[in-house]
Amino acid sequence: EKVTVSLIKADVGGIPGHSTVHPKLKEKASECLQEAKENGLLVDYRVLHVGDDLQLLMSHRRGIDSEEIHKLAWETFEAATKIAKELKLHGAGQDLLSDAFSGNIKGMGPGIAEMEFTERGSETLVAFMMDKTEPGSFNFPIYKIFADPFNTAGLIIDPLLIDGFIFEVWNIKDRKRIFLKCPEDLYLFLSLIGAKSKYVIKRIFPKDSSPLPKDEPVAVVSTEKLFFIAEKYVGKDDPVALVRAQSGLPALGEVLEPFSVPYLVSGWMRGSHAGPLMPVSFKDAQCTRFDGPPRVIAAGFQISHGNFIGPIDLFDDPAFDLARKKALELADYIRVLGPFEPHRLPPEEMEYTTLPGVLEKLETRFEELE
């Protein structure tokens, strides 16, 4: 029995500022998705949020890139935008970059992670959602989960994991992709994905030796870059990811382990700063200090005949208290630098912010050197 899980998100307005989502937007979204469930388009859904991003988690039988599913998401965001505009929420409709839906939501502003797979006897799924950062922020944890035996004990202890995985990596600037196998291509893989603003892990596949169907992904990350769509700064591309776990895949705890370290990501204030990624509970999924720090939530599920059993709020747990404390210490430390790199992002990445508009004003004041 194949199921498709689609996680589609958009920032359609924040309260206050870019900090969080108004409950009325979530109510509206639930109403739209409930109707689609009753009409049989969806098997199930959950509406969540992290920071100012409204998250639609949907299960259905239509496969990926389904026009009906994408249209449903688009129209749901439009309905939420209508309320955001009435309430004068900040940045109402900010991620809806197109006027009319034309078959696929990709390239229209919202971020999307979706995969179709055969539901196993026990199907464990984690949906990760980040705010105030970019798709490449998943490179580090996804590498750790699926390729690093110091993180994932199963890579050396479980015969089903010992052969490793296949990684689909996208060059999001030049729109190219490459498939790399780990452990064989491990160093090549790292040579690319360390450059997280350019190379982004898109999907993970099982290898030939795995009993899982080879063409069905075991993890997928959203890779939409708003800047390349809008051709101007309209906020960071706050990413999401879906990761399947257990029974021949990394265990739930191996999937969560990389987040025990608040590693540095790009984004935060004005999409222009490096800062620690803080794992938080759903209730702390709002961005405050310096519009952050960048945050990640993890919603855990078992899938039963396409239904979402859950969510369990996985970072609502003292096991991640130390990561949060370290994140705050790191935030204090790096904030001291103010506008100086490496707190502020390097020039190549600042091109995708509002800074070029400022630098333009200086253009005529520069003099040529001898």
Short-list 41, 57, 40, CA closest to 49 = 57
91 or 183: whose CB is closer to Mg ion? 91
Pick from 6, 8, 9, 53 the residue near Mg ion by CB under 5 A: 53
250 or 275: whose CB is closer to ligand F6R? 275
User: Measured from the CB of residue 278, what is the shortest distance to ligand F6R in angstroms?
Assistant: 15
DSSP label at residue 136? G
The residues that bridge with 245 in the sheet, in sequence order, are 124
Pick from 164, 235, 293, 310 the residue near ligand F6R by CB under 6 A: 235
Short-list 190, 196, 87, CA closest to 143 = 190
Strand 278-279, strand 295-304: pairing:
parallel
Q: Is 333 left (phi over 0), alpha (psi -120 to 50) or beta?
A: alpha
Q: According to the binding rule CB under 5 A, does residue 238 interact with Mg ion?
A: yes
341 token code pair: 């790199």
- Binding partner selected for residue 95 from ligand F6R, Mg ion, none, CB under the kind-specific 5 to 8 Å limit: none
User: Measured from the CB of residue 94, what is the shortest distance to Mg ion in angstroms?
Assistant: 5
Q: According to the binding rule CB under 6 A, does residue 310 interact with ligand F6R?
A: no
Q: According to the binding rule CB under 6 A, does residue 275 interact with ligand F6R?
A: no
DSSP label at residue 162? T
Q: Which residue has the tokens 């206050």?
A: 16
11 or 123: whose CB is closer to Mg ion? 11
53 or 349: whose CB is closer to Mg ion? 53
Q: How many of the chain's residues bind Mg ion (CB under 5 A)? A: 9
Instruction: Please say whether the beta carbons of 137 and 277 come within 8 A.
Output: yes
User: One-letter amino acid identity for 169?
Assistant: V
Given the rule CB under 6 A, which residues bind ligand F6R?
17-18, 91, 132, 235-236, 269-271, 291
Given the rule CB under 5 A, which residues bind Mg ion?
11, 14, 18, 51-53, 91, 131, 238
